[in-house]
Amino acid sequence: MGHRARARQRGLSLLGLIVLGVLITFGAMLGMKLYPTVSEFMMVKRAVVKARNDGNDVAGIRAAFDRAAAIDDITSINGRDLDIAPLPGGGFKVSFAYEKRIPLFGPASLVLDYRGDAGTPLKDAR
């Protein structure tokens, strides 16, 4: 009877528990390292939209972005890195791209390519 009871037992072995702990720790470590870069990306996107709406020309858009970047402590990109193209109906399309490298352990690192744009400006409803 002891053999049958043992065959029905289910659970996590010590080795399984250790592997699960390592995976959870690695996931938490990765999440803590990714959060600041994702947060900065969201700030960059908001600053690009604000700069596009506030600037009247290429220099004005770059200056508006640099002001917003100084306030939000954005260090990965600056106004010179923005790709600004005039739109046929007026206004500008402002886009950006940058790379962020996150060291993990030893020679291993994670490289993230962030890209975005401000989309098309809103037309005045008159």
Written as tens digits, the pLDDT of the chain (126 aa) is 555 656 666 777 889 889 999 999 999 999 999 999 999 999 999 999 999 998 889 999 999 999 999 999 999 999 999 999 988 888 889 999 999 999 988 899 999 999 999 866 555 433
pTM confidence score: 0.76
Q: Give the H or E element holding residue 25.
A: helix 14-54
- Cα separations (Å) of 47 from 15, 36, 83, 91? 48, 16, 14, 17
- List, in sequence order, every residue forming a beta bridge with 94; answer none if it has no partner: 84
